[in-house]
A and B are shown apart, each in its own frame.
Chain A
Amino acid sequence: MLVKIARFDPDTSRAWEQEYEVDTTKQSMTVMDVLDYIAKNLDPTLAYYRHSICNHGICGRCVLQVNGKTKLACTERADGYESLSLAPVTSFPVVRDLVTYNSATKL
């Protein structure tokens, strides 16, 4: 499956789209599983919400846009899509790639 990811580097303010090819036919995968696959096998530099996650749709912090709609990466199944286009949500500033700063904590 073709996976297109909106990327952003805060240090240079460069924004680009990167494409990955992920085999989603071997097992059923969520969008989080797809991102994990990319990080482990294709590109460890990818930033997506992954710290202290519940992975079962209750902490609600792994929110992102999947083909233009706001979803949780951990419960959104990839099987239903022909290709994936992943982008950060637009309601908060982007920290890097798919990660937005949605916490009230300021530093």
Chain B
Amino acid sequence: MSIKSISSSIQKWFISQSLNHSKRSIVISIITTLIIGSGVQFLVIDDDLMKMLPKKLDSRVSWDAVQKEFGSTEVIFIAFGNQNQSIYQKEILSDSWELKKELKELPSVESVINISTSTRIDNVDGFMEIADLQEKQLLNQDQIESLKKYLDKNIKLKKKLLNKNETFLLTIVQPKTIIGLDKFRNEVVSVSSKILSKYETHYSGTAYITGSIPQLIREDVQVLIQIGMLIMVSILLFNLRSLSGVLMVFMVIVLSLLAMLGSMGWLYKITGSEKFLFALLNTSMPIILLTIANSDGVHVVTKFFKEYRSGKTSRESINEAMESLLLPIFITSITTIAAFLTMASSPLEPLVGYGICISIGIAWAWLLSSITLPAIINLKKWNPTSKAFISHSIFENFVEYLGRVIVLYPRYIFSIGIVLFLLGSTGIYKVIVDVNLASFFKPGTEIRNSMDFMDQEMTGTMDLRIRLEAEMKEPSVLRKVDSLQYFIEKNKSISITSSISDVVKKMHRTVMNDSAKYDNIPVEREKVNNLFTMYAMSGNVEDFSSMVNYNNSIGLVTSLSRVMSTEEVFLFVNNISDYIKNHFNDTIKVNITGMIVVIRDMVTLIIRSSAISIIFSLFLVIMIASIFFKKIYWGLLAALPLSGAVILNFGLMGHFNVTLNHITAILSSIIIGVGIDFAIHFISQYQKLSKSVDRENLSEETIRDVGYPIVLDAASNMGFGALIFSSFVPVQYIGGLMIFAMISTALGTLIVLASLMEILKLYLIK
């Protein structure tokens, strides 16, 4: 049996299932979809940036080691107070105490740091005294004065606990490592908002933002799907002018969405892999599948309408439509899947899950469009006198006009397309990569305002953690740590650093009668030992637990900074790495991690991921199209409109200052995956018609045949516009850029590809 006859048998089998076993096909596909879709219950929403990094990446390994030794470093910052009102007042200090007390009661909270949990080390009459900074909830004026005096003298501690104007107090809440950040965030906010109702309150920190995102994602996805579907249904209804036709397309979309989300849930349930967590970047998945599934459905329904309009019976029309479409729909699905599956090679964990799950959704949409949709069309009694069949829609008229123009002026049109492409692509050099969470929220939104407040008024919330494996009581190590902190603090964005060295210096000074001369690390190891022992006797050694481990063999230097640009992050991390290389010998193992390093690593990974994805997916779609169309030049032609669209997309990102991040990075895969469909439908029909239509009328006929579904598909894909209503700035950008990408790939196919094929028709059709 030849390949052609196998292909023909498969086509016949598909058509037979739709036409001869319509009800059975529908029932089986619905039941199977429901079984797969039931996995939705296992879907977990989590947008922890750290979980996106490969587990073997240095900064991730160090991060995991820090979490294991010192507990979670993803914390919530709560700043509260009132502008123009000093914090040195009985009431606010009492509320701060109450807040600590209530937060500590929460099952999700590991520890709380604020003014009421801090310790003071004083030299009293020549003796060292370790006591609570705020000794009780209700302080008298003398006690408040004493507290103020101590903080004024200990600037570093003051910086950590209150703002410059002394009007806001800071509380840092650390979660238990096993707790989901959304649960932690909700519990903390619920308790805090009750106690702090009379204050201006700002929440920030990675744990707060990461914990807030799942709820925002839930709301976002719901709103986006609703708006996306509304736009799509409106455009389809306006053009198809058949409610039944629209509902049939709609059914393919809904069932595909269910299968995709369900498979994601099942895969997470079965593998437990973080790749299958639903993160912020997955927000675009439903809308993208919606458009792909819509594309398949629209082609089937419009082709059926066209055949039915020509006077054939319903059964004959379905047969004719599916004979024409089964192969192109299969090829478009395969190429789109191939483009998305290239994401599986991404070093970023959620992109792998994204690629796999959306591919399942696309495969399901193909199955539904190839069997279930024609089966439903077959069961419906169609009225040949309805408006849908007797008159052309606006898009159909536009496409016919376009076809005539292209045949008349192919060279002009092709040249205009090339010029527009060249102009747009000049912006590529201006593309900026930025993964900073702050830029994901619009200025003026609550989260963004709080982040800005923390940056301007408090210490900032971006952390850098330096983990040291060394004998942390050794004076030479402590001095190196001290110098490292001094070096870090030279950066203007860094607001504060802390380590065990600070405590040793403070104790040394206190023991030596509070003489500023001794505000340093003692020279002898024995003295450091004595200071540690004395603290253990008079204070609580647990006070050091965020700075050194139980056996003093691992230390942690923490620094907090205001938001930095990606360029600043690269420069800063590189400088610190160089400093460590030059100043720490081999006996001290040093690793750097924290959000600042994560941002640097994410940027590198995103650039790598985008490049791999574009090259690999372009190669794949060219290969697949070449195989199906049996010549490599057809594959190259199929890739032409979408290659242009990808380059234009990056050009526009540069022109309009749209940053490349882990969310917008998926754009190229989407453009390739969705854009290839148009070219494949066009080339497939061009090849088919070349057997029955003469060369002169071939382009016009092809445009007339597939131009309408392509334009209708692109127009209904304006559902991408729904992304503009997202709460997240990068998702909004995806919306805008995808609308442009849809227009550019559709017109790229119908204008640039069609005019090029018209120019090259002598070579293409022999």
Does chain A bind chain B? no
List chain B positions with a Cβ less than 8 A from chain A: none
